[in-house]
Structure 1
Amino acid sequence: MKRIILFFALFIALASNANAQKGLAAGANAPAFSGVDQNGKKITLKGLLKEHKSVVLFFYRGQWCPYCNKHIKELQDSLQLLTGKDAYVIGVTPETSDNIAKTIKKTSAGCSIIQDKDDAIMKAYGVNFTMDDATFTKYKGYGIDLEANNGNTRRTLPVPATYIIDRSGKIKFMHFDPNYQKRASVKTLLAEL
C-alpha cells in the first residue's frame, strides 16, 4: 500500500511539472543528435537514418523507475520484430553510464542507450523538465537521489516519450504523456513502422 501511495504522490508532483512540455508533433523535422552508446559506438541520427528505414527513439527517466524498466524490457522482448522492420531502437536518458549499466542489467536491453549529459537531446525534443525542490526531497526520502543518479545538480528528467523518425528525418509517430506510467506499446510501434 505504501508503494501505491508513493507512486501516486510522485505522479501528481511530476505530472504538474511535465505539463509545461508538449514534445514535438508528428510531421516535424527530428532534431539531429549524437552520442556514444553503452558499447562505445558513436551514434548520430543522420548516420542511423542512412543505414535504417527508421529510428525508434525513446526517452526514459532512470534505472530506479520500474515503469521505465518494464517498457525497456517490453522493447527488448520485441527487439527482433522492431529491427525486422529495419528500425534502429535507441534510448536516451539523463542517468550516468554506471546507471545505464544497471538499466541494462535489469532489462537485458540490447538496444543502444546514450546519456544526455547536457540535456540537449531532451530539450531539442521538448521532453525535459526540472524537478522542483519538494518533489526532489520526496524522491530522496524514498531512496532516489536524482543528482547522484544523473551525475549533476540540474534535476532534469524527461517525460517518457517515444518517437518514430523516418528516413527523411521527419517524425512519423510520437507518444508523449506526462503520466509516466503510460508508454507506447510495441504493438502500436510495429503498426506505425
Structure 2
Amino acid sequence: MLLATISFFANAQTAVPKTANDIAPLLIGEKIPDITLKTAENAAVQLSDLFKNKKTILVFYRGGWCPYCNMHLSALAEAEKQILDLGYQIIAISPDTPENLKITAEKDKVKYTLLSDSKGDLIKAAGIAFEAPENYKSTINVYSNGMNTSFLPVPSVFVVNADSDILFEYISPDFKHRISSELLISVLKNLK
C-alpha cells in the first residue's frame, strides 16, 4: 500500500497536463532551470552558459512544422537588430531534433540560436508541456526523431536575466496567438 502511494505521487509530479489550459508555468521571479540542450550542430550546451553574458528572450515553440511558429520566428528575426540593440539575445527552443532546427533556421531566415529539447526536459520543467492531441503525435514523432511522441509546449516567451530569473513572460494556450515583436520590444524597453 505504501509503495502504491509513493508511486502515485511520483507519477503525479511528472504527469503532463491533458490540455494547454491546464499547464502550471514558472512565474515571474522564478528561475529557468539549468538544463543541457542540443544546438543545431548537435553540440550539448548548458543554458546557464548562454544566459551568463546577456539578458535573454527565451522562446518556446511547437516545432518547425507549425506555420504559426514559423511566422513568429520570422517576425523575431526581423526584429532581432532592435532586440540586440537593447542588450538582449534570442534563444528559441522546440522539441525538434538538431537536424530539423537547421531546416527551420534556413526556412525562416533565423540567425539567432535554436535549441533542441526533444526529450522535453526544459519544456516540462518550465511547466509549459501538455499532452499532444492525437492528430499531432505522428508529426512530433517525426520531427523529434522518435524522442517525443506525446507532448507539445505551449508557445511561450520568457525574458530572463543573466542569473536565469524570469523578468517577464507571455504564455498563450491558444497556439495561434503570439506576442507581437512591437509589444515585446516595448516590454524590453521598460525592463531596462
Task: Tell me if TM exceeds 0.5.
Answer: yes
Matched, 1:64 2:60: no
Q: Residue 27 of structure 2 aligns with which residue?
A: 25
For residues 154 and 139 of structure 2, the distance between their equivalents in structure 1, rounded to whole angstroms, comes to: 18
Q: Residue 150 of structure 1 aligns with which residue?
A: 144
Q: 1:110 to 1:41 in 2, by over 3 A?
A: farther
1:115-154 to 2 correspondence within 5 Å? 115-131=116-132, 135-136=133-134, 138-139=135-136, 145-152=139-146, 153-154=148-149
Given that 2:38 and 2:117 are in contact with CA atoms closer than 8 Å, whether structure 1 keeps it comes out as no
Structure 2 portions without partners, runs of 5+: 1-17
Structure 1 portions without partners, runs of 5+: 1-15
Given that 2:40 and 2:99 are in contact with CA atoms closer than 8 Å, whether structure 1 keeps it comes out as no
Task: Give the superposition deviation at 1:41.
Answer: 5.9
* One-letter code aligned to 2:122: I
For residues 70 and 122 of structure 1, the distance between their equivalents in structure 2, rounded to whole angstroms, comes to: 21
TM-score normalised to structure 2 length: 0.80
Provide the aligned C-alpha RMSD in A: 2.1
TM-score normalised to structure 1 length: 0.80
SS of match in other structure, 2:115: strand
Given that 2:41 and 2:98 are in contact with CA atoms closer than 8 Å, whether structure 1 keeps it comes out as no
1:165 pairs with one of 160, 168, 186:
160
Q: Residue 192 of structure 1 aligns with which residue?
A: 187
Aligned residues: 171
Q: Residue 38 of structure 2 aligns with which residue?
A: 36
Task: Give the superposition deviation at 1:84.
Answer: 1.3
Given that 1:74 and 1:186 are in contact with CA atoms closer than 8 Å, whether structure 2 keeps it comes out as yes
SS of match in other structure, 2:175: coil
Matched, 1:177 2:179: no
Q: 1:48 to 1:20 in 2, by over 3 A?
A: same
Q: Deviations over 1:91-144 (max 9, x none)?
A: 11101222212211220111111110321010111111121xxx32x347xxx6
Task: Give the superposition deviation at 1:59.
Answer: 0.6
SS of match in other structure, 1:78: helix
For residues 83 and 93 of structure 2, the distance between their equivalents in structure 1, rounded to whole angstroms, comes to: 17
Task: Give the superposition deviation at 1:40.
Answer: 5.5
Q: Residue 113 of structure 2 aligns with which residue?
A: 112
For residues 145 and 99 of structure 2, the distance between their equivalents in structure 1, rounded to whole angstroms, comes to: 10
For residues 65 and 100 of structure 2, the distance between their equivalents in structure 1, rounded to whole angstroms, comes to: 9
Task: Give the superposition deviation at 1:64.
Answer: 1.3
